Structures are given as C-alpha cells and as structure tokens.
C-alpha cells in the first residue's frame, strides 16, 4: 500500500505558470531539480536518490528507483521539501517553458498514468515515478517517445507540465484519436497506445507532419499539448541560424529573401 502525503495547491499564471504547494507540518512534496521557485521559512530541502517512494527499502531500493529515472532521461536525484514548522507552509515550483501545469489526482485516475519523459514537475511524497516500456517494436521505434515513457503510480497528487494549450479528452470504448507523436502529454492506464503510417507518397514527402501518427484507443482519458518542446526548439534553431532566415511558405519565402537583400 502506497501512503501518499495529501497536499493542497494553487496554480498561478496563464502562459508561464507556477504551482504553489501548501504543506501541513511534516508533509513532503517531491520535485524535479531546477523547478524550485520560492518557499517559506521552515521548509527543509533534502536531495535524495530516486523519487522518494523507496527510501525505506535499503540501498538496493534507492538504486533501483534512481536507475528507473535515469532510463527516462531524468536526473538520478530528486529534491524533497518537508514542512518542519508548526503551521502551514508554502513552496512554489515553476514551469520550465510556456505552457500549462496539469494537476492529476492519481486516486481518481485509476492509480496510474503514462506520460512523456520530460512532463513530470512535482508530486506528493509516495507517488512512484517509474518507467513504461512500449511493448510493440513499431511503437518504440517510431512513436516519438521511444521505447520508454514515464509512469506515475500511487493515490496522491502529481503535477505534469505541457507546452502551449492543453486539450483534455475522454475517449469512449473503441474510440480512436490520431495525434502527432510529439503532442501526447499523458494518458490513463486503460488507453491503448500504438502508431499508424500516414500513407501516400505526397503525404510522406511533402506533408511536413512526419511519417507516423500516434493512435490512442479508448476507453480512457488523454491529455494533448499544442506545442511540444521539440517543435519549439526546432523553430528557434531554424530562425537562429547565422546569416539565414526561415520564412513561412518554403520557396516563396526564399524568393522574398532574395528581393529584400537577404539572399545570395
């Protein structure tokens, strides 16, 4: 039985959000390194291996917990924030890039969600942050997130972050939603995740949307982001090239560069 700390929270902001966690005495919240924003006096920080759910299982349990996080591309360490005072205290964590912070009550979501590897922000102590292997070869190779995704388990609150606007959808049994592979934020354990070939020579070569869709089949709940961090980073890099400027419209944009003096 996983005993999660019960925490209260408030989310502030619209595009660059932060979440304020209110802790009762001796309550603890676990957070990703680098997400801390501010806290009241009386809260103690403690850097630990793994996710904090295996701290009483000896060194082997701690190493296994840390190893799972390393496989998902996260840090080996997490930071625990514990209220050591006599009254309520607040600690605030900030989103890493423009988007939304999504609170997820794991108790109401069936005790488990699967999310993209860089989505986790913070959670009540006791929530387990593990790994979810994609069993199908095609899904692992072409699904955008690879063979390994993040798995959050427990019955407490967890907070994940997504880019841009976040759409929450409830899929009925058998309902299929086709999504760009990078736009998946998270889905509940009942949802079946697979990939589908876009099809068509023109679609594949000139569509600009990749070769594969992700398909999510209900029943279950899914969260979709409008701006994956990979897409944002790609745009920034393309516009930041020295001596070059990318225009919308491909060939016509290149002609525009020639006429306004930016072309060769």
Residue 264 lies in a domain: no
Q: 211: pLDDT confidence band, cut at 50, 70 and 90?
A: low
Residue 223 lies in a domain: yes
Residue 143 lies in a domain: yes
**What does the pLDDT read at residue 260?**
46
Give the CATH number, domain containing residue 145. Answer: 3.60.160.10
Residue 167 lies in a domain: yes
Say how many domains are in the chain. 1
pTM of the predicted model as reported, rounded to 2 decimal places = 0.77
Q: 240: pLDDT confidence band, cut at 50, 70 and 90?
A: low
Q: 118: pLDDT confidence band, cut at 50, 70 and 90?
A: confident
> Of 6 and 140, which is predicted with more confidence?
6
Q: 210: pLDDT confidence band, cut at 50, 70 and 90?
A: low
Q: Is the pLDDT of residue 168 over 70?
A: yes
Residue 259 lies in a domain: no
Model confidence over 76-97: pLDDT tens digits?
Answer: 678 999 999 999 999 999 998 8
Q: In what order do the strands lie in the sheet with 77-83?
A: 43-49, 77-83, 28-31, 120-124, 157-163, 99-105
Residue 83 lies in a domain: yes
**What does the pLDDT read at residue 58?**
54
Q: In what order do the strands lie in the sheet with 89-94?
A: 8-12, 18-23, 89-94, 36-39
Beta-bridged to residue 160, according to DSSP, are 102, 120
Q: Which residues span the domain enclosing 128? A: 8-240
**What does the pLDDT read at residue 180?**
85
Residue 247 lies in a domain: no
Residue 190 lies in a domain: yes
Average pLDDT over residues 2-11: 78
């Amino acid at each position: 039985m996983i005993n999660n700390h019960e925490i209260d929270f408030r989310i502030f902001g619209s595009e660059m959000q932060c979440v304020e966690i209110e802790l009762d005495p001796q309550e603890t919240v676990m957070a990703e390194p680098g997400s801390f924003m501010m806290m009241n006096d009386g809260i103690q920080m403690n850097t630990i291996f793994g996710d904090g759910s295996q701290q009483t299982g000896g060194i082997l349990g701690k190493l296994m917990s840390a190893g799972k996080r390393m496989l998902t591309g996260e840090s080996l360490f997490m930071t625990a924030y514990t209220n050591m005072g006599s009254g309520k205290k607040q600690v605030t964590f900030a989103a890493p890039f423009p988007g939304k912070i999504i609170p997820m009550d794991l108790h109401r979501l069936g005790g488990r969600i699967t999310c993209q590897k860089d989505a986790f922000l913070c959670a009540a102590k006791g929530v387990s942050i593990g790994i979810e292997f994609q069993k199908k070869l095609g899904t692992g190779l072409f699904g955008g997130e690879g063979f390994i995704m993040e798995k959050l388990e427990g019955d407490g609150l967890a907070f994940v972050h997504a880019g841009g606007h976040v759409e929450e959808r409830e899929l009925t049994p058998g309902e299929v939603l086709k999504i760009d592979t990078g736009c998946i934020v998270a889905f509940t354990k009942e949802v079946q995740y697979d990939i589908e070939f876009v099809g068509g020579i023109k679609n594949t070569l000139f569509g600009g949307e990749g070769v594969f869709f992700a398909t999510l089949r209900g029943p279950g709940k899914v969260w979709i982001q409008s701006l994956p961090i990979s897409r944002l980073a790609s745009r920034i890099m393309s516009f930041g090239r020295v001596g070059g400027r990318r225009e919308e419209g491909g060939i016509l944009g290149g002609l525009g560069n020639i006429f306004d003096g930016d072309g060769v």
